[in-house]
Structure 1
Amino acid sequence: MGFHIARAQVLEEDVAALLDRHFELMRAQSPAESCHVLPAEDLAAADVSLFALRDQGQLLAIGAIRNFGDWGELKSMHTAQEARGRGAGKAMLTALMQEARAQGLKYLNLETGSGADHLAARRLYEAAGFSECPPFGDYVADPLSVFMTHTLREPEQQGM
Protein backbone atom coordinates (compact mmCIF):
# COMPACT_ATOMS: atom_id res chain seq x y z
CA MET A 1 0.00 0.00 0.00
CA GLY A 2 1.17 3.49 -0.78
CA PHE A 3 -0.57 5.15 2.18
CA HIS A 4 0.70 8.58 3.16
CA ILE A 5 -0.51 10.02 6.47
CA ALA A 6 0.07 13.66 7.33
CA ARG A 7 -1.45 16.47 9.35
CA ALA A 8 -4.44 18.01 7.67
CA GLN A 9 -6.48 21.19 7.85
CA VAL A 10 -10.27 21.27 7.91
CA LEU A 11 -10.24 23.80 5.07
CA GLU A 12 -8.54 21.46 2.59
CA GLU A 13 -11.22 20.76 -0.01
CA ASP A 14 -11.10 16.95 0.08
CA VAL A 15 -10.73 16.88 3.87
CA ALA A 16 -13.73 19.20 4.29
CA ALA A 17 -15.79 17.01 1.97
CA LEU A 18 -14.93 13.78 3.85
CA LEU A 19 -15.57 15.47 7.20
CA ASP A 20 -18.98 16.55 5.88
CA ARG A 21 -19.76 12.97 4.81
CA HIS A 22 -18.65 11.70 8.22
CA PHE A 23 -20.75 14.30 10.07
CA GLU A 24 -23.85 13.52 8.01
CA LEU A 25 -23.43 9.76 8.46
CA MET A 26 -22.97 10.03 12.23
CA ARG A 27 -25.99 12.33 12.53
CA ALA A 28 -28.07 9.87 10.47
CA GLN A 29 -27.06 6.89 12.62
CA SER A 30 -27.73 8.37 16.08
CA PRO A 31 -30.24 10.73 17.69
CA ALA A 32 -28.79 14.16 18.48
CA GLU A 33 -28.46 13.47 22.22
CA SER A 34 -26.38 10.36 21.51
CA CYS A 35 -24.29 11.73 18.65
CA HIS A 36 -20.90 13.08 19.70
CA VAL A 37 -19.37 13.87 16.31
CA LEU A 38 -17.41 17.12 16.30
CA PRO A 39 -18.27 19.73 13.69
CA ALA A 40 -15.38 20.55 11.37
CA GLU A 41 -14.74 23.92 13.01
CA ASP A 42 -14.10 22.17 16.35
CA LEU A 43 -11.51 19.95 14.67
CA ALA A 44 -9.54 23.12 13.89
CA ALA A 45 -9.05 23.87 17.62
CA ALA A 46 -5.53 24.14 19.05
CA ASP A 47 -5.99 20.99 21.18
CA VAL A 48 -6.91 18.83 18.16
CA SER A 49 -4.49 17.18 15.73
CA LEU A 50 -6.23 16.21 12.50
CA PHE A 51 -4.70 13.75 10.05
CA ALA A 52 -5.48 12.61 6.52
CA LEU A 53 -4.54 9.31 4.90
CA ARG A 54 -4.04 9.37 1.16
CA ASP A 55 -3.10 6.81 -1.45
CA GLN A 56 -1.60 8.26 -4.62
CA GLY A 57 -3.04 11.63 -3.64
CA GLN A 58 -6.59 10.35 -3.09
CA LEU A 59 -8.00 10.97 0.39
CA LEU A 60 -9.17 7.68 1.91
CA ALA A 61 -9.43 8.35 5.65
CA ILE A 62 -9.31 10.98 8.35
CA GLY A 63 -8.79 10.87 12.10
CA ALA A 64 -8.02 13.20 14.96
CA ILE A 65 -6.73 13.30 18.51
CA ARG A 66 -8.06 15.77 21.04
CA ASN A 67 -5.40 16.34 23.70
CA PHE A 68 -6.58 16.67 27.30
CA GLY A 69 -3.13 16.74 28.91
CA ASP A 70 -2.38 13.24 30.23
CA TRP A 71 -4.87 11.60 27.91
CA GLY A 72 -6.38 12.00 24.49
CA GLU A 73 -9.59 11.18 22.71
CA LEU A 74 -9.84 9.78 19.22
CA LYS A 75 -12.28 11.83 17.16
CA SER A 76 -13.66 11.68 13.64
CA MET A 77 -12.07 8.39 12.64
CA HIS A 78 -13.60 7.80 9.24
CA THR A 79 -12.70 5.81 6.15
CA ALA A 80 -14.47 6.70 2.93
CA GLN A 81 -17.06 4.05 2.08
CA GLU A 82 -15.42 3.34 -1.28
CA ALA A 83 -12.03 2.75 0.40
CA ARG A 84 -13.13 0.32 3.11
CA GLY A 85 -11.47 -3.07 3.28
CA ARG A 86 -8.08 -1.77 2.10
CA GLY A 87 -6.45 -1.32 5.52
CA ALA A 88 -6.78 2.46 5.63
CA GLY A 89 -8.62 2.50 8.96
CA LYS A 90 -6.04 0.27 10.61
CA ALA A 91 -3.19 2.38 9.19
CA MET A 92 -4.85 5.59 10.42
CA LEU A 93 -5.45 4.15 13.88
CA THR A 94 -1.83 2.99 14.13
CA ALA A 95 -0.60 6.45 13.10
CA LEU A 96 -2.88 8.18 15.61
CA MET A 97 -1.65 5.93 18.40
CA GLN A 98 1.96 6.75 17.44
CA GLU A 99 1.08 10.45 17.44
CA ALA A 100 -0.52 10.12 20.88
CA ARG A 101 2.70 8.58 22.20
CA ALA A 102 4.71 11.38 20.59
CA GLN A 103 2.46 13.90 22.36
CA GLY A 104 3.26 12.16 25.66
CA LEU A 105 -0.28 10.94 26.27
CA LYS A 106 -0.67 8.11 28.77
CA TYR A 107 -3.85 6.71 27.29
CA LEU A 108 -6.37 7.18 24.52
CA ASN A 109 -10.13 7.06 24.92
CA LEU A 110 -12.90 6.98 22.39
CA GLU A 111 -16.66 6.90 22.10
CA THR A 112 -18.34 5.01 19.30
CA GLY A 113 -21.79 3.69 18.57
CA SER A 114 -23.14 0.49 20.08
CA GLY A 115 -25.15 -0.62 17.04
CA ALA A 116 -24.44 -2.78 14.04
CA ASP A 117 -23.36 0.28 12.01
CA HIS A 118 -20.36 0.65 14.31
CA LEU A 119 -19.43 -3.02 14.70
CA ALA A 120 -16.49 -2.87 12.27
CA ALA A 121 -15.10 0.16 14.12
CA ARG A 122 -15.40 -1.56 17.50
CA ARG A 123 -13.62 -4.64 16.14
CA LEU A 124 -10.84 -2.45 14.74
CA TYR A 125 -10.36 -0.75 18.11
CA GLU A 126 -10.44 -4.06 20.00
CA ALA A 127 -7.83 -5.54 17.65
CA ALA A 128 -5.60 -2.54 18.42
CA GLY A 129 -5.84 -3.19 22.18
CA PHE A 130 -8.74 -0.93 23.17
CA SER A 131 -11.18 -2.26 25.76
CA GLU A 132 -14.51 -1.06 27.01
CA CYS A 133 -14.51 1.41 29.89
CA PRO A 134 -16.95 3.65 31.75
CA PRO A 135 -17.85 7.05 30.28
CA PHE A 136 -14.99 9.55 30.53
CA GLY A 137 -14.69 13.33 30.43
CA ASP A 138 -18.12 14.94 30.01
CA TYR A 139 -19.78 11.81 28.62
CA VAL A 140 -22.60 10.06 30.46
CA ALA A 141 -23.76 6.45 30.20
CA ASP A 142 -25.81 5.94 27.05
CA PRO A 143 -27.06 2.63 25.63
CA LEU A 144 -26.21 3.92 22.13
CA SER A 145 -22.55 4.55 23.05
CA VAL A 146 -19.58 2.30 23.70
CA PHE A 147 -16.64 3.86 25.53
CA MET A 148 -13.18 2.40 25.06
CA THR A 149 -9.69 3.07 26.36
CA HIS A 150 -6.14 1.99 25.62
CA THR A 151 -3.09 2.55 27.80
CA LEU A 152 -0.20 3.74 25.67
CA ARG A 153 3.29 2.42 26.09
CA GLU A 154 6.47 3.10 24.24
CA PRO A 155 6.81 0.82 21.19
CA GLU A 156 9.69 -1.12 22.73
CA GLN A 157 7.49 -1.94 25.73
CA GLN A 158 4.94 -3.50 23.40
CA GLY A 159 7.47 -5.74 21.72
CA MET A 160 7.36 -3.82 18.46
Structure 2
Amino acid sequence: MYSITSESSHHPDIINLIAALDRYQSELYPAESNHLLDLSELTEENLILMVIRDQQLTAVGCGAVVLNGDGTGEMKRVYIDPTHRGQHLGETLLAALEDEALSRHCHTVRLETGIKQHAAVRLYERCGYEMRPPFAPYTADPLSLFMEKALVVDVRLAAL
Protein backbone atom coordinates (compact mmCIF):
# COMPACT_ATOMS: atom_id res chain seq x y z
CA MET A 1 0.00 0.00 0.00
CA TYR A 2 1.23 3.45 -0.92
CA SER A 3 0.22 6.87 0.36
CA ILE A 4 0.34 10.25 -1.34
CA THR A 5 0.67 13.39 0.74
CA SER A 6 1.68 17.01 0.32
CA GLU A 7 5.27 17.79 1.22
CA SER A 8 7.65 20.71 1.54
CA SER A 9 10.24 21.26 -1.18
CA HIS A 10 12.84 21.42 1.60
CA HIS A 11 12.09 17.92 2.93
CA PRO A 12 15.11 15.59 2.59
CA ASP A 13 12.98 12.93 0.85
CA ILE A 14 11.98 15.40 -1.86
CA ILE A 15 15.55 16.64 -2.24
CA ASN A 16 16.77 13.04 -2.68
CA LEU A 17 14.08 12.11 -5.22
CA ILE A 18 14.72 15.24 -7.28
CA ALA A 19 18.46 14.59 -7.19
CA ALA A 20 17.80 11.11 -8.61
CA LEU A 21 15.57 12.63 -11.30
CA ASP A 22 18.24 15.22 -12.17
CA ARG A 23 20.89 12.48 -12.51
CA TYR A 24 18.59 10.49 -14.79
CA GLN A 25 17.74 13.47 -17.00
CA SER A 26 21.35 14.63 -17.16
CA GLU A 27 22.26 11.26 -18.69
CA LEU A 28 19.59 11.69 -21.38
CA TYR A 29 19.88 15.34 -22.40
CA PRO A 30 22.44 18.13 -22.71
CA ALA A 31 22.22 20.91 -20.12
CA GLU A 32 20.52 23.34 -22.51
CA SER A 33 17.64 20.87 -22.99
CA ASN A 34 17.23 20.12 -19.28
CA HIS A 35 14.64 22.51 -17.88
CA LEU A 36 15.30 21.82 -14.22
CA LEU A 37 13.35 23.96 -11.78
CA ASP A 38 14.44 24.43 -8.18
CA LEU A 39 11.12 24.00 -6.36
CA SER A 40 12.54 25.48 -3.17
CA GLU A 41 12.55 28.89 -4.88
CA LEU A 42 8.73 28.86 -5.12
CA THR A 43 6.21 29.97 -2.51
CA GLU A 44 3.68 27.52 -1.09
CA GLU A 45 0.95 29.63 -2.73
CA ASN A 46 2.35 28.80 -6.16
CA LEU A 47 3.38 25.19 -5.57
CA ILE A 48 1.60 21.89 -5.17
CA LEU A 49 4.15 19.23 -4.23
CA MET A 50 3.32 15.64 -3.40
CA VAL A 51 5.29 12.59 -2.37
CA ILE A 52 4.47 8.89 -2.63
CA ARG A 53 5.54 6.69 0.27
CA ASP A 54 5.49 2.91 0.55
CA GLN A 55 4.39 0.89 3.62
CA GLN A 56 7.74 1.53 5.29
CA LEU A 57 7.21 5.29 4.70
CA THR A 58 10.09 5.38 2.25
CA ALA A 59 9.62 8.11 -0.36
CA VAL A 60 9.41 6.42 -3.78
CA GLY A 61 8.00 9.17 -5.99
CA CYS A 62 7.13 12.82 -6.27
CA GLY A 63 5.55 15.39 -8.51
CA ALA A 64 4.58 19.04 -8.54
CA VAL A 65 2.33 21.56 -10.20
CA VAL A 66 3.52 25.16 -10.37
CA LEU A 67 0.50 27.44 -10.34
CA ASN A 68 0.79 30.46 -12.62
CA GLY A 69 -2.03 32.54 -11.12
CA ASP A 70 -3.94 32.71 -14.40
CA GLY A 71 -5.78 29.39 -14.12
CA THR A 72 -2.94 27.40 -15.63
CA GLY A 73 -0.27 25.30 -14.02
CA GLU A 74 2.81 23.43 -15.12
CA MET A 75 3.46 19.83 -14.12
CA LYS A 76 7.07 19.53 -12.95
CA ARG A 77 9.42 17.06 -11.30
CA VAL A 78 7.35 13.89 -11.76
CA TYR A 79 9.48 10.93 -10.76
CA ILE A 80 8.86 7.36 -9.62
CA ASP A 81 11.79 5.33 -8.33
CA PRO A 82 12.54 2.64 -10.95
CA THR A 83 12.03 -0.18 -8.42
CA HIS A 84 8.42 0.95 -7.88
CA ARG A 85 7.37 1.51 -11.48
CA GLY A 86 4.70 -0.57 -13.17
CA GLN A 87 2.22 -0.23 -10.30
CA HIS A 88 0.22 2.71 -11.70
CA LEU A 89 1.76 5.09 -9.17
CA GLY A 90 2.27 7.69 -11.89
CA GLU A 91 -1.43 7.74 -12.76
CA THR A 92 -2.39 7.95 -9.09
CA LEU A 93 0.10 10.76 -8.47
CA LEU A 94 -1.05 12.78 -11.50
CA ALA A 95 -4.69 12.41 -10.44
CA ALA A 96 -3.87 13.67 -6.93
CA LEU A 97 -1.90 16.63 -8.31
CA GLU A 98 -4.68 17.48 -10.77
CA ASP A 99 -7.36 17.28 -8.06
CA GLU A 100 -5.42 19.66 -5.84
CA ALA A 101 -4.71 21.99 -8.78
CA LEU A 102 -8.40 22.09 -9.64
CA SER A 103 -9.27 22.87 -6.01
CA ARG A 104 -6.89 25.82 -6.29
CA HIS A 105 -8.66 27.20 -9.40
CA CYS A 106 -6.29 25.74 -11.97
CA HIS A 107 -8.25 24.73 -15.09
CA THR A 108 -5.38 23.70 -17.39
CA VAL A 109 -2.13 21.85 -16.72
CA ARG A 110 0.77 21.98 -19.18
CA LEU A 111 4.08 20.20 -19.19
CA GLU A 112 7.38 19.84 -20.99
CA THR A 113 9.04 16.46 -21.21
CA GLY A 114 11.86 14.95 -23.19
CA ILE A 115 11.55 12.89 -26.35
CA LYS A 116 13.63 10.08 -24.81
CA GLN A 117 11.29 9.61 -21.86
CA HIS A 118 8.92 7.21 -23.63
CA ALA A 119 7.33 5.84 -20.46
CA ALA A 120 6.59 9.37 -19.21
CA VAL A 121 5.01 10.35 -22.54
CA ARG A 122 2.83 7.21 -22.47
CA LEU A 123 1.82 8.01 -18.87
CA TYR A 124 0.78 11.54 -19.78
CA GLU A 125 -1.14 10.35 -22.83
CA ARG A 126 -2.97 7.70 -20.76
CA CYS A 127 -3.90 10.45 -18.31
CA GLY A 128 -5.42 12.64 -21.02
CA TYR A 129 -2.58 14.99 -21.93
CA GLU A 130 -2.35 16.01 -25.57
CA MET A 131 0.52 17.41 -27.63
CA ARG A 132 0.67 21.17 -28.06
CA PRO A 133 3.17 23.80 -29.23
CA PRO A 134 5.75 25.19 -26.82
CA PHE A 135 4.42 27.58 -24.17
CA ALA A 136 6.21 30.36 -22.29
CA PRO A 137 8.91 30.36 -21.08
CA TYR A 138 9.92 27.54 -23.46
CA THR A 139 10.92 27.74 -27.09
CA ALA A 140 11.00 24.96 -29.64
CA ASP A 141 13.59 22.31 -28.80
CA PRO A 142 14.02 19.15 -30.87
CA LEU A 143 14.53 17.20 -27.62
CA SER A 144 11.34 18.48 -25.96
CA LEU A 145 7.65 17.62 -26.20
CA PHE A 146 4.91 19.87 -24.87
CA MET A 147 1.58 18.62 -23.61
CA GLU A 148 -1.59 20.00 -22.05
CA LYS A 149 -4.71 18.81 -20.27
CA ALA A 150 -7.88 20.75 -19.54
CA LEU A 151 -9.07 19.89 -16.03
CA VAL A 152 -12.51 21.33 -16.73
CA VAL A 153 -14.45 21.24 -19.99
CA ASP A 154 -15.63 24.83 -19.64
CA VAL A 155 -13.04 27.15 -18.05
CA ARG A 156 -15.89 29.38 -16.83
CA LEU A 157 -16.69 26.55 -14.38
CA ALA A 158 -13.22 26.85 -12.85
CA ALA A 159 -14.20 30.21 -11.35
CA LEU A 160 -17.08 28.68 -9.35
Moved more, 139-148 or 3-12: 3-12
| Residue of structure 2 in register with 1:75 after alignment | 76
**CA shift for structure 1 position 138:** 0.8
Moved more, 73-82 or 48-57: 48-57
Structure 2: gaps (5+ residues)? none
Number of equivalent positions: 151
**CA shift for structure 1 position 150:** 0.4
After superposition, residues 103-122 of structure 1 pair within 5 angstroms as 103-115=104-116, 118-122=117-121
| Residue of structure 2 in register with 1:45 after alignment | 43
Q: Give yes or no for contact 2:48–2:101 (8 Å, CA) kept in 1.
A: no
RMSD (CA atoms): 1.7
| Residue of structure 1 in register with 2:126 after alignment | 127
What secondary structure is seen at the aligned counterpart in 1 of 2:13? helix
| Residue of structure 1 in register with 2:12 after alignment | 13
In structure 2, what residue type is equivalent to 1:82? T
**CA shift for structure 1 position 14:** 2.1
Residues 34-91 of structure 1: CA distance to partner in whole angstroms, max 9, x if unpaired?
111213533x533222110112112111000000021000000000111111221111
| Residue of structure 1 in register with 2:86 after alignment | 85
Q: Separation in 2 of the partners of 1:136 and 1:10?
A: 25
Q: Separation in 1 of the partners of 2:124 and 2:43?
A: 25
| Residue of structure 1 in register with 2:138 after alignment | 139
**CA shift for structure 1 position 5:** 1.0
Q: Separation in 1 of the partners of 2:28 and 2:12?
A: 25
Sequence identity percentage:
33
Structure 1: gaps (5+ residues)? none
TM-score, structure 1 as length reference: 0.88
**CA shift for structure 1 position 12:** 2.1
**CA shift for structure 1 position 28:** 2.0
Change (3 A) 1:40 1:108: closer
